[in-house]
């Protein structure tokens, strides 16, 4: 009798941390930088300290030392710029931008340097830079620490943008990002940070391909498209719709740039209906981009216009009751799906 392999469950944070550690062991050119990335480790009594604001780098300093795990000043322009320079000169930096809302003070380094160097130097310079950043509302962190903003970065050629939805995809996409020769931004939703689902996360290193979506649930009547945390809203909504007699397919987008247009279009052409669930602001968003894609490339297949479920076009409120009204919910996804299915 063959014994089934035990399911290995780890949290989202542990998955990111494990991916970084394994790549640092595999490749001595991988380094880590960020605010509290080492957590003041090296000082007396601080041999294994904070590990960054999100604990993503905890435990790396004792193994890899100060040469490869570096605390930085509170100067996003400085340490993102240092990461770009290190990448262009042969290293593979992993740099933590604490919150995506802080990108305004390092936008030049990301969009004018990291994104354009390979192109401007005729392909002679690679920029294997990984930027990991926290995003997402629903944690009571107010307007400057709760934005999503991934759509901003997809506007710029030369940047790859990925959004993991669970520990398995977090580890696989983080590994793929570090190994990629282009700059990759990995957007980690804070509501998923402590998430430990039932899925298996292999202990060995593996990659989840950048540029590919996945079908998280197969269905026939409607396509629900999720991004990161909203994939879980889509899965819960699909279960609710099933109880009402409808079969919903769930697409977990995973990669925003490059985007897997074909998986999205194949699903919509099959189900003939689509609801897109996006945490970002609604104007010039991924939801808007997908709606345009579906309307232009699958119009003749549609039985109803695509619907978007997004926050309102306003800053994230600090008040808990207002924030609960701000974020997309399962109820709103089901309501939108029912309208499309009528």
State how far the Cα of 230 lies from the Cα of 307, in Å rounded to an integer.
Answer: 15
Distances (CA, A) of 13 to 17, 170, 178, 289, 305: 6, 9, 16, 30, 38
- Residue given tokens 């699958």 in the structure block: 298
Distance of CA 70 to the CA centre of its chain: 23
* Residue in 252, 264, 270, 272 with CA at minimum distance from that of residue 293: 264
Phi, psi of 256 (to 5 degrees): -95, -30
Catalytic residue among 118, 145, 200, 313: 145
- Residue given tokens 């435990």 in the structure block: 59
200 in active site: no
State how far the Cα of 45 lies from the Cα of 155, in Å rounded to an integer.
Answer: 45
Catalytic residues: 145
């Amino acid at each position: 009798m063959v014994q089934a392999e035990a399911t290995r469950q780890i949290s989202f944070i542990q998955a990111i941390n494990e991916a970084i550690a394994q790549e640092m062991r595999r490749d001595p050119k991988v380094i880590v930088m960020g605010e509290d990335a080492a957590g003041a480790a090296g000082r007396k009594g601080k041999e294994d300290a904070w590990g960054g604001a999100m604990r993503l780098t905890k435990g790396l300093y004792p193994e890899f030392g100060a040469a490869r795990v570096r605390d930085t000043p509170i100067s996003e322009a400085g340490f993102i710029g240092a990461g770009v320079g290190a990448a262009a000169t042969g290293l593979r930096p992993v740099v933590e931008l604490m919150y995506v809302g802080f990108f305004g003070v390092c936008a030049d380094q990301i969009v004018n340097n990291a994104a354009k160097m390979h192109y401007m130097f005729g392909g002679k310079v690679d920029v294997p830079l990984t930027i990991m950043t926290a995003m997402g509302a629903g944690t009571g962190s107010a307007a400057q620490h709760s934005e999503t903003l991934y759509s901003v970065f997809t506007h710029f050629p030369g940047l790859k943008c990925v959004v993991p939805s669970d520990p398995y995809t977090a580890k696989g996409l983080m590994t793929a990002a570090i190994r990629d020769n282009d700059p990759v931004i990995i957007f980690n939703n804070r509501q998923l940070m402590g998430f430990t689902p039932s899925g298996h996360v292999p202990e060995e290193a593996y990659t989840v391909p950048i540029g590919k979506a996945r079908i998280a649930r197969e269905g026939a009547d409607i396509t629900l498209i999720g991004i990161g945390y909203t994939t879980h809203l889509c899965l819960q909504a699909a279960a609710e719709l099933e109880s009402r007699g409808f079969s919903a397919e769930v697409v977990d987008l995973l990669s925003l740039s490059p985007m897997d247009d074909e998986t999205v279009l194949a699903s919509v052409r099959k189900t003939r209906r689509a609801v897109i669930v996006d945490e970002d602001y609604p104007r010039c968003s991924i939801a808007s981009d997908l709606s345009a894609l579906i309307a232009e490339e699958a119009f003749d297949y549609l039985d109803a216009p695509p619907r978007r479920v997004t926050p309102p076009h306003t800053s994230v409120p600090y008040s808990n009751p207002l924030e609960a009204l701000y974020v997309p919910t399962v109820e709103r996804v089901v309501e939108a799906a029912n309208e499309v299915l009528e």
